[in-house]
């Protein structure tokens, strides 16, 4: 059930909800910029906006509570990393689309769910709903099979290897089967579900470039930070430059699919506004439109530099009510945090309105 809480300029109240280090707030500047916090049909986060509605719908359609939005999201990420192009989402075996359906299997599960006149594994809505139907059916089989074990694991194994293999092995096929492909598939999805669980999507009312950018960026809450990663089309692996991108002595950025602070801003405003790639360049491109701290509106950009001057090292998006949405640093995720503690206060340079 969705729960919406609205704070207007006439209702001076605020609360913070902290879950697993992520801070979500009910955020508003005035009625025109009011924001809402929703439970997102199960606390779905870190999912591209174009997938979100369909994942929630597919989960809702299944009678088995095990088919959570986070499970579907983790499975989609494992199958295709939310890629939708034929070049990126066609497997060596011929599986197609973001949910990786073989043509014969698609004939069974595919429907024209997005009502565009064609049932296609390349259409996000069609693919996700077909994934949900197939997984729901497999959960039913697993529940009634009498096979011991987590029915989610059994259903995932059936999705990857076919239900016949689950029956053959009396459970998830072992590591010795298919070089561990199915075994690892199941383990990875179940272990990464938590990445897609958490506070609901920050839903911003109103229109305009700033509100639209904040709304788009909010779909990426929970996405990992990757120095040098991310761009207009979404998250990607980053790189280390001798100083940045390291965690516990190793280069984490090169193996992490995510955003850094400026690529998140770039993604949020693209393509309506094509900002430069780095925080310093984004400040240079928008500094002729400064905004005082007392007049901030959702979507405004906030900048930090060491000592409050010199090279800009961080940018965040204002989310209302004294909070920002940003990608903070290596080892963290895209989150909502108070402006006063998001970065050192002495480093704050100012804000601009793109």
pLDDT in tens, 97-133: 999 999 999 999 999 999 999 999 999 999 999 999 9
> Which of 152, 158, 190, 193 lies closest to 173 in space, CA to CA?
158
Q: Which residues contact 115 (CB under 8 A, 6 or more apart)?
A: none
Render pLDDT for 275-304 as a digit per residue (tens, 0 to 9): 999 999 999 999 999 999 999 999 999 999
- Better-predicted residue by pLDDT, 260 or 4: 260
Distance (Å, whole) CA 216 – CA 122: 22
CATH code of domain 207-352: 3.90.1720.10
Are residues 173 and 182 in contact, defined by beta-carbon separation less than 8 angstroms?
Answer: yes
Distance (Å, whole) CA 331 – CA 5: 31
- Quick one: what percent of the chain has pLDDT higher than 70? 86
pLDDT at 195 (0 to 100): 87
CB count within 10 Å of CB 94 equals 11
Distance (Å, whole) CA 34 – CA 206: 7
pLDDT at 8 (0 to 100): 30
pLDDT at 202 (0 to 100): 72
pLDDT at 203 (0 to 100): 66
- Better-predicted residue by pLDDT, 234 or 222: 234
Whether pLDDT at 31 is above 90: no
Q: Which residues pair with 317 in a beta bridge?
A: 301, 325
Are residues 66 and 139 in contact, defined by beta-carbon separation less than 8 angstroms?
Answer: yes
pLDDT at 72 (0 to 100): 97
Q: Would the pTM count as exceeding 0.85? A: no
**Res. 5 pLDDT band, cuts 50 70 90:** very low
Q: Which residues contact 287 (CB under 8 A, 6 or more apart)?
A: 352
Render pLDDT for 292-348 as a digit per residue (tens, 0 to 9): 999 999 999 999 999 888 899 999 999 998 999 999 999 999 999 999 999 999 999
Whether pLDDT at 2 is above 70: no
Q: Is the dihedral of CA 39, 42, 46, 50 positive or negative?
A: negative
Are residues 349 and 303 in contact, defined by beta-carbon separation less than 8 angstroms?
Answer: yes
Q: Kindly list the distances between the CA atom of residue 263 and the CA atoms of 234, 238, 258, 295, 348, in Å, as whole numbers in the listed order.
A: 9, 11, 9, 25, 19
pLDDT at 7 (0 to 100): 28
Structure-derived torsion over alpha carbons of residues 34, 40, 46, 50, reported in degrees to the nearest 10: -90
Q: Kindly list the distances between the CA atom of residue 41 and the CA atoms of 56, 124, 201, 221, in Å, as whole numbers in the listed order.
A: 6, 19, 10, 15
CATH number, domain 49-194, options 1.20.870.10, 1.10.530.10, 3.30.230.10, 3.30.40.10: 1.10.530.10
For 118-209, strand residue ranges (E) read: 202-204
- Better-predicted residue by pLDDT, 66 or 2: 66
Tell me whether strands 290-291 and 348-352 are parallel, antiparallel or unpaired.
antiparallel
> Mean pLDDT for the chain?
87
Domain boundaries, the chain: 49-194, 207-352
CB count within 10 Å of CB 209 equals 14
- Better-predicted residue by pLDDT, 279 or 26: 279
Render pLDDT for 162-221 as a digit per residue (tens, 0 to 9): 999 999 999 999 999 999 999 999 999 999 998 888 665 576 877 899 999 999 998 888
Helical pair 124-145 and 49-61, crossing angle rounded to 10 deg: 30
Are residues 204 and 215 in contact, defined by beta-carbon separation less than 8 angstroms?
Answer: yes
């Amino acid at each position: 059930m969705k729960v919406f809480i609205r704070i207007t300029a006439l209702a001076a109240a605020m609360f913070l909800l902290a879950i697993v280090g992520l801070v979500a707030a009910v955020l508003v500047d005035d009625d025109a910029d009011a924001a809402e916090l929703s439970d997102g049909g199960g606390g779905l986060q870190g999912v591209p906006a174009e997938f979100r509605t369909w994942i929630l719908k597919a989960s809702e359609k299944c009678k088995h509570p095990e088919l959570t939005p986070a499970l579907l999201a983790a499975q989609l990420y494992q199958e295709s990393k939310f890629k939708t192009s034929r070049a990126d989402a066609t497997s060596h075996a011929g599986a197609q689309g973001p949910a990786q359906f073989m043509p014969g299997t698609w004939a069974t599960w595919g429907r024209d769910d997005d009502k565009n006149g064609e049932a296609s594994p390349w259409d996000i809505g069609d693919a996700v709903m077909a994934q949900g139907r197939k997984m729901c059916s497999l959960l039913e089989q697993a529940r009634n099979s009498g096979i011991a074990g987590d029915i989610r694991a059994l259903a995932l194994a059936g999705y990857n290897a076919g239900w016949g293999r689950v029956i053959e092995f009396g459970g998830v096929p072992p590591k010795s089967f298919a070089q561990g492909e199915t075994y690892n598939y199941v383990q990875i999805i179940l272990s990464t579900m938590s990445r897609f669980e958490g506070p609901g999507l920050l839903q911003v009312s109103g229109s305009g470039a700033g509100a639209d950018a904040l709304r788009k960026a909010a779909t990426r809450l929970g996405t990992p930070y990757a120095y040098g990663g991310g761009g207009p089309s979404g998250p990607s692996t980053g790189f280390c430059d001798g100083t940045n991108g390291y965690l516990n002595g190793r280069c984490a950025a090169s193996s992490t699919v995510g955003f850094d602070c400026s690529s998140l801003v770039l993604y949020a405003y693209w393509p309506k506004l094509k900002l430069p790639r780095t925080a310093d360049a984004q400040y240079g491109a928008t500094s002729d439109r400064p905004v005082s701290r007392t007049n901030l509106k959702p979507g405004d950009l906030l900048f930090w530099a060491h000592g409050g001057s010199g090279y800009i090292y961080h940018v965040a998006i204002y989310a209302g009510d004294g909070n920002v949405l940003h990608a903070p640093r290596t080892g963290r995720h895209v989150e909502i945090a108070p402006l006063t503690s998001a970065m050192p206060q002495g480093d704050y340079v100012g804000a601009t309105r793109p």
